[in-house]
Structures are given as C-alpha cells and as structure tokens.
Amino acid sequence: MTSLVRLEAADGIGTIRLDRPPMNALNIAVQEQLRAAAQEATARDDVRAVVIYGGEKVFAAGADIKEMAGMGYAEMSARAVALSSAFDAVARIPKPVVAAITGYALGGGCELALTADWRVAAEDAQLGQPEITLGIIPGAGGTQRLARLVGPARAKDLIMSGRFVPAPEALAMGLVDRVVPRADVYEAALALVRPYVNGPALALRAAKQAVDGGLEMDLASGLAWESQLFAGLFATEDKAEGMTAFVEKRKPSFRGR
C-alpha cells in the first residue's frame, strides 16, 4: 500500500504526516493509515508527544468527494462507523497532541484538527465544515467536538452555513490556539509540545483522560473519575520522584513510569 500517512519520530516527538498531494484529501486509505499511525504513536515509548501535519501548503482540504459521491445509504451506514473510529483513534492518543495547520483544514481536515489537544494555524489558514454545501453534515466528529470546543451556537453557525473561517477569527472563537506566520507553523507546533517530552508521561496521560472523559460525564461522575485517576498516580515512580525532588529542592527527572 502507498504510504499516504506516516509517523516520523525525532527527539521524543512523533509527527503524523499526511502526504496525499495536492490537497491531502481524506479517502478511505488515508483514514485507515491515520488509524494505524495513531495506534503506532500510542504504542511507541520513544514518542512522548505528537504533531499532526499536512505539509507546508495544506493541512487537509476535506474528504475525497469523488470517492463518496458513488456511495449510497447502505454503503455509508457501514463506512461511517469506521470513519468516526479512525479519527477517534487520533483523539485517544494518550499523549499531548497538536495540529499544525497550513492552508486549508476543511471538512474532514477540520475534524482531524479537532482531534488534537491544541491547534497552531498559519496566518492565512482557513478552517471550516462545508459539508452542508454537499447536502450532508460532518461525519467524523465535527458536530460533536466542534460544539464542545467553541460552544453550540458557534458550531451551528459554522456547520449550517458551511463558511470558511480565517485564522484570526478562528483564534478569537477558540477554534485554534495560536496563529503564526505560515513558515513558522511546524516549528511553533514542535515548540508547543516539546516541554512535555521529558514530563511525567503517566500524569500527562491521566490529565488528558480526566479532561476528555469528564466532558462526557455529569459533574459528580467527573469528580469521581478525577479522584480515581489522581489516586492511581500515587503508584507511579514519577510521583515519588516528583515529590522527592520538591522536598530536596531540585528539578525532577521523570522516567514515564
């Protein structure tokens, strides 16, 4: 199979790189290779943080419409679950994840960016969920993750209008977290997650699980979930190292155990 998505690791950071020119259209092959890359990033101990990157020109301009155009209800009702779960595999990487967005992040591309913990966008980037212009709605988490990120009213505006959102507006509404010159996007994304490479990996995983899992629960259940994760960290070597280093007034040396 042609490599349309690859995981490249260096200095503790794994880059999930989309490589399907010219627009990184997210066809079925890309979706499944995204799943595989996410699973590999999850499993590899030498990957402590992750950047999702489409290259210098474009992040991902959406699904492969030519591939979907011939599908009817029976086909898509089966495929839709696999599509959603492929993106969910990226969202569930138990490590800090940032999307580095250049050019367009539209439709499935925007949904992929939403799976990250943070989003760094180029000054001239544009994001959006234009599926409505095709007579459909987002099907890879857009209606759910977008509403949780920017609120239901803004999510309905973007989804029901299908409009493109320029980077400055995306920053103002919280759709992206940083806006930088296009040439600096990848380096800015690396800089954002680099501090976590030598951090307490199990505590970072628990922090992500606590926040993401708690969003799906009522407050009482979320607090119980937090307490469970909090207590579990007291069985880790990093907890012992962190507290010992604090008492001894030195910098901790975490080992991710």
Active site members: 63, 108, 111, 131
**C-alpha distances in Å from residue 23, one per residue of 63, 64, 103, 129:** 10, 10, 9, 16
Paired tokens of 8: 């490249």
Of 101, 110, 84, whose CA–CA distance to 32 is shortest? 84
Whether the Cβ atoms of residue 193 and residue 13 lie closer than 8 Å to each other: yes
Helices (H), 44-141: 65-69, 73-91, 108-114
Of 113, 247, 88, whose CA–CA distance to 178 is shortest? 113
Q: What angle do CA 99, 132, 84 make, to 5 degrees?
A: 50
Of 61, 46, 59, whose CA–CA distance to 7 is shortest? 46
Calpha distance 217→224 (Å, rounded) = 10
